[in-house]
Structure 1
Amino acid sequence: MNKRFFLIITGFLIVILLVFSYFADRRRIDEKSMVQSDQSNLNQGVSVVMKPVDDETGLIIGPGFNLVKTNCLGCHSGKLITQNRANREAWKATIRWMQQTQNLWDLGENEPKILDYLSKNYAPQQMGRRAPLQDVEWYDLQE
């Protein structure tokens, strides 16, 4: 009786874990593919498109992602890429600096594809610190 009870409970727990895992994966997929309109940007007529991001590297998934992952992340973290913004010429200058000082190999025919990826996904952004506050009811602080 105890062995049968244990098997039933174990089977039940496995089913629950599988169902939970399925819905967690669905939620992650939905979050990656959604288009989000930020309310402050909506007031300005701008919609923000959330691009899918690789969980392991933190890099945007798109054309050239695998080349960047293969050629860049062997030496440094994806955070070094995501924290920087540059145009194509500045990314190329960064690659040249790494080749001259950090022993980065010649990227050959992959270099233009890597530069396309970096300049598209990590280009400079024309934006301020944050959107101005709107419809705020201000009040005096009491001492």
Structure 2
Amino acid sequence: MGVEEKFKQSVKGIHTLLTILLIGFIGVLIILFFTIKDATTSTTNSPVLPPDYVEVPTQEDDLDKIENGIHVRTGFVEGEGLLLVVQNCTSCHSAKLVTQNRMSKEKWLATIRWMQETQNLWDLGVNEEPILNYLSTYYAPNQIGRRANLENVEWYELKE
């Protein structure tokens, strides 16, 4: 084998090596491109959310949606004065603070006065009466007390 043949084989080997390196380099670039693209897409379009994340409606109509007689966002019963209560009560505290309480009109008024004196609740002005009417209508004290006795039940004896 002459010098010329050795030279041709060396050039062919170098050519093969450069081809392999170029293909590998292009492969790495493609992988990086898709990895970076996925990383930027996932952070801007699909953020990782906690499992208890709740989507808040963005359209104004959805904020005051009523389903089956219940204001969806707050859980308040639908009725006259509902939106006044939503606007004036839930801007400071959870709607659950209202729905878990049952009071007469006088007690609701006393609670409002207490919030005005100690919690910086603003003067409700002409809205106070409709708010009190709503609260005393839908969140009045329960007069039922204990549940009624069960009737027409076929009881059976538990065996030991």
TM-score range, shorter chain: 0.5 to 0.7
Residue 140 (str. 1) matches residue 140 (str. 2):
no
SS in 2 for 1:93: helix
- For 2:97 and 2:79, locate their aligned partners in 1 and report how far apart those are by CA, in whole Å: 18
Deviations 1:86-121 (A, max 9, x none): 111100000000011111011111111111111111
2:145 to 122, 128, 142: 128
- Percent of aligned positions with the same letter in both sequences? 61
> 2:75 matched to which residue of 1?
58
Cα distance in 2 for residues equivalent to 1:116 and 1:138: 45
Larger Rg: 2
**Corresponding residue number in structure 2 for 1:67:** 84
* Unmatched 5+ stretches in structure 1: 1-28, 33-51
Residue 107 of structure 2 is matched in structure 1 by: 90
Q: Secondary structure at the match of 1:118?
A: helix
Question: Aligned-pair distance for 1:76?
Answer: 0.8
**TM-score under structure 1 length normalisation:** 0.63
Task: List per-residue Cα deviations over 1:30-72 (Å, max 9, x = no partner).
Answer: x72xxxxxxxxxxxxxxxxxxx111110001111001000010
Name the count of aligned residue pairs.
95
Q: Equivalents in 2 of 1:90, 1:96: separation in Å?
A: 10
* RMSD over aligned Cα atoms: 1.4
Matching of residues 1-143 of structure 1 within 5 Å: 32=68, 52-143=69-160
Which residue does the alignment assign to 1:9? none
SS of residue paired to 1:125: coil
Greater relative contact order, per chain length (Cα 8 Å cut-off, separation 6+): 1
Q: Secondary structure, in 3 states, of the residue corresponding to 1:117?
A: helix
In 1, the alpha carbon distance for the partners of 2:145 and 2:129 equals 30
> How high is the TM-score relative to the length of structure 2?
0.56
1:135 partner amino acid: N
